């Protein structure tokens, strides 16, 4: 398929049954791909640049979309062959059928069936936006925390279920926040794990909820999703240490759950408009 494989890059991350891969290739294109192996999953290909091509699904020729931010849906139960006509840069999102079914149960969607054609091209700004949210994590996987990846993967699965299935709804859960004890538990667990390595599912389990119900209820209670509240706690703790300790920026970064000083500086500057060193200097002068 690729005549100059050394001109391409592959970056990936995985979270349970969810995976995201960014594949970039700028060399000369060649022959069609080999037939895809069968799998009980959907592959969502979000194009990050204009790129022409054609596909065959179970031997049937189909037009492949070419627009930037357009998404092609591959049902991996079908044999798929792709022939790229241009260099490409795309994000491939892997959604397992059993993960979608489990989430549908958690969301009380009732019986459902998929309502999307294999090989369909979708101009779906929500899919494109959620996919692009993962690009920084693919570039710097050491900075990606479990809460963030879990939240985005759940949002992708939820959106796919809501928009591309036909369901017979069950009883809708009440859209209320967390009970006081659940909120105390969740906040304590997040504060005790500022490195973000505790998963969304684990915190939800400690609160006696599914991940989907917990994420929705936490956002109602706190006004922000769990991963964003985690980042706010990192920033607040770092501010206290900048003012009340003599720790170096590297030591504060590690103590507050950042991957390194560079990650700390970018996050702090984005939140407060000043680097940690500058912020500390101004307030201690």
Residue 2 predicted with pLDDT over 50:
no
Q: What pLDDT is stored for residue 110 in this prediction? A: 79
pLDDT at residue 31 in the model: 86
DSSP for 150-197, written as a single string: HHHHHHHHHHHHHHSEEEE--PPPP-----HHHHHHHHHHHHHTTTS-
* Residue keyed to tokens 């699904």: 57
Domain boundaries, the chain: 5-166, 173-223, 228-284
Q: What element of type H or E holds 112? A: strand 111-114
What was the pLDDT predicted at 49?
A: 94
Compute the C-alpha angle 266/149/131, nearest 5°: 85
Q: Is the pTM of this model over 0.75?
A: yes
**147-162 mean pLDDT:** 93
Condensed to tens digits (0 to 9), the pLDDT of residues 243-260 reads 999 999 999 999 999 989
Q: For the segment 7-66, what is each residue's pLDDT rounded down to a tens digit?
A: 689 999 988 788 999 999 988 888 888 898 899 999 999 999 999 999 999 999 988 888
**Which candidate, 243, 241, 231, places its Cα nearest to that of 268?**
231
Q: Which fold has domain 228-284?
A: Arc Repressor Mutant, subunit A (1.10.10)
Q: Where is 89: in which H helix or E strand?
A: strand 88-96
CA 195 to chain centre: 17
Domain 5-166 has CATH 3.40.50.720: no
CATH topology identical between 5-166 and 228-284: no
């Amino acid at each position: 398929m690729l005549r100059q494989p050394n001109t391409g890059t592959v970056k990936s991350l995985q979270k349970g049954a969810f995976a995201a891969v960014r594949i970039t290739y700028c060399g000369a294109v060649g022959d069609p791909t080999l037939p895809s192996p069968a799998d009980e999953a959907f592959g969502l290909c979000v194009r990050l640049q204009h790129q022409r091509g054609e596909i065959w699904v179970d031997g049937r020729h189909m037009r492949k979309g070419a627009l930037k931010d357009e998404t092609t849906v591959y049902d991996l139960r079908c044999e798929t062959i792709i022939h790229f006509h241009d260099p490409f840069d795309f994000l491939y999102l892997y959604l397992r059928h059993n993960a979608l079914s489990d989430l549908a149960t958690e969301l009380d969607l009732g019986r459902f069936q998929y309502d999307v054609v294999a090989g369909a091209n979708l101009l779906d700004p929500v899919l494109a936006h959620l996919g692009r949210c993962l690009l920084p994590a693919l570039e710097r996987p050491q900075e990606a925390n479990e809460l963030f990846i879990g939240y985005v993967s759940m949002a992708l699965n939820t959106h796919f279920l809501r928009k591309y299935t036909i369901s017979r709804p069950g009883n809708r859960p009440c859209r209320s926040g967390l009970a006081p004890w659940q909120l105390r538990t969740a906040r304590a667990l997040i504060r005790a794990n500022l490195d973000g390595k505790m998963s969304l599912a684990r915190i939800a389990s400690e609160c006696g909820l599914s991940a989907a119900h917990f994420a929705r209820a936490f956002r109602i209670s706190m006004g922000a999703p769990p991963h964003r509240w985690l980042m706010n706690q990192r920033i607040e703790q770092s501010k206290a240490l900048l003012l009340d300790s003599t720790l170096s920026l590297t030591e504060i970064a590690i103590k507050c759950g950042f991957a390194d000083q560079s990650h700390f500086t970018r996050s702090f500057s984005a939140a407060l408009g000043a680097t940690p060193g500058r912020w500390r200097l101004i307030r201690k002068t």
